[in-house]
Amino acid sequence: MSRTDVRLADTSLPTWDGVLPPWPGTEQHGLFVRSAPWTGAEPALFVHGLGGASTNWTDLMGLLAGQVDGAALDLPGFGRSAPPESGSYALRTHTRAVIALLERQDRGPVHLFGNSLGGAVSTQVAARRPDLVRTLTLVSPALPSLRPRRGLDPRLPLLLVPGLSQVLSRRLAEASPEARARAVLELCFGDPSQIPEQRLREAAEEVGRRNGLRHSSDAFAGSLRGLIASYLERGHRNLWQQAAGIRVPTLLVWGTEDRLVDVALAPKALAAFPSSRLLVLPGVGHVAQMERPETVARAFLALREDADAQRARA
């Protein structure tokens, strides 16, 4: 597996000096949504991973500005979105929230992007509501696998135990926002030396802000438990079975140094999604859209070009 397994478009992409600031956002239909300037292009929606936020897509949205009209949401309880009224952080809760947003925005089928937990959510959205999805791009999607990963914090499984999760969350909160933000980004990046200082500052500010939110630890622990519970589903609710029914063009992206979702799952995912292609990036970790946004952008644009050409021939 290598990056040569998929075509990269040679489209001219925007350039900028330094690091882009987060896109502005507003509350939309119960969720906080950040949007790049809309130009009348095809719509796109970006869904972040566990513990992440809409800001995880800043650079990719900037590179695709003008190619798609991009919006990135904060899942219920994450970023600046309020917790779900039901108090449930099951995978289906996040999926329903994304579907509801797409329905209420009424922008037609979107190019749907998902990372990690957001990849699992996006898989469910595409399986349940194919009318809402034009293409699917999944970056290290958290598809079912109960195999433990080396390099993870050994305390993480304790978050699956409701009583212990509050104790552990309080202890983790004792670390400074800067230390917690750095630890998370270093876990997610294949090469931590490439983390921009501005991204570290933004992440630390976000950690500090969320320390004051009563639902913050519940959102993380509850979503982790909900994701693991979804791995045990059988029949039509199983994510692998849902993937097998998705017919939209799908781009799968993995990094060889992903310490959270094993790249060994990539061939299984490629076989599961009927109309898929696989991009594996050497030296990259769990958030390829942050580490190699230009490569991910060019791979998506090639996917869209090929899909358009196939429709034209039909």
Q: What is the pTM of this model?
A: 0.92
- Which pLDDT belongs to residue 148? 54
Judge whether 152 lies within some domain.
no
Judge whether 135 lies within some domain.
yes
Judge whether 136 lies within some domain.
yes
Q: Is the model more confident about 8 or about 216?
A: 8
Would you call 135 exposed, middle or buried from its count of C-beta atoms within 10 A (0-12, 13-18, 19+)?
buried
Residue with tokens 């290290």: 140
User: Mean of the pLDDT values across residues 80-106?
Assistant: 97
Helix/strand/coil (H/E/C) assignment for every residue in 288-307: HHHHCHHHHHHHHHHHHHHH
Judge whether 270 lies within some domain.
yes
- Those residues with Cβ within 8 angstroms of residue 154's Cβ, 6 or more apart along the chain or in another chain: none
pLDDT digits (tens, 9 = 90+) for 155-191: 444 334 444 344 445 555 678 889 889 988 999 999 9
Is the torsion defined by CA of 4, 56, 116, 63 positive or negative? Answer: negative
pLDDT grade for 3, boundaries at 50, 70 and 90: very low
pLDDT grade for 214, boundaries at 50, 70 and 90: confident
Beta-carbon count within 10 A of 311 CB: 9
Number of domains the chain is built from? 1
**SS3 call for 55:** helix
Please state, in angstroms and rounded to a whole number, the distance separating the CA atoms of residues 233 and 127: 15
pLDDT higher than 90, residue 147: no
DSSP of 209-255, one letter per residue? Answer: HHHT-TTHHHHHHHHHHHHHHHHT--GGGSHHHHHHT--S-EEEEEE
DSSP of 185-198, one letter per residue? Answer: HHHH-SSGGGS-HH
Enter the DSSP assignment of 5: G
% of residues, the chain, pLDDT over 70: 89
| CATH code assigned at 248 | 3.40.50.1820
Judge whether 63 lies within some domain.
yes
Judge whether 65 lies within some domain.
yes
Contact in structure between 249 and 275 (CB atoms under 8 Å): yes
Contact in structure between 64 and 135 (CB atoms under 8 Å): no
Q: How far apart are the first and last CA of the chain?
A: 30
- Which pLDDT belongs to residue 163? 44
- Those residues with Cβ within 8 angstroms of residue 90's Cβ, 6 or more apart along the chain or in another chain: 226, 229, 230
Domain that residue 254 falls in: 3-147+218-313
pLDDT grade for 11, boundaries at 50, 70 and 90: very high
List of E strands, the chain: 25-28, 31-35, 42-47, 68-73, 110-115, 133-139, 250-255, 276-281
pLDDT higher than 50, residue 25: yes
Enter the DSSP assignment of 8: -
HSE value, Cβ hemisphere, 13 Å, CA-based, for 206: 22
Q: Is the model more confident about 17 or about 95?
A: 95
Judge whether 200 lies within some domain.
no
Please state, in angstroms and rounded to a whole number, the distance separating the CA atoms of residues 153 and 108: 41
**Mean pLDDT lowest among 57-66, 91-100, 150-159, 169-178:** 150-159
User: Mean of the pLDDT values across residues 38-44?
Assistant: 96
Type of residue numbered 83:
P
Please state, in angstroms and rounded to a whole number, the distance separating the CA atoms of residues 78 and 25: 14
The overall average pLDDT reported for the chain is 90
Token reading at 284: 């990259």
Judge whether 31 lies within some domain.
yes
- Which pLDDT belongs to residue 165? 43
Enter the DSSP assignment of 65: B
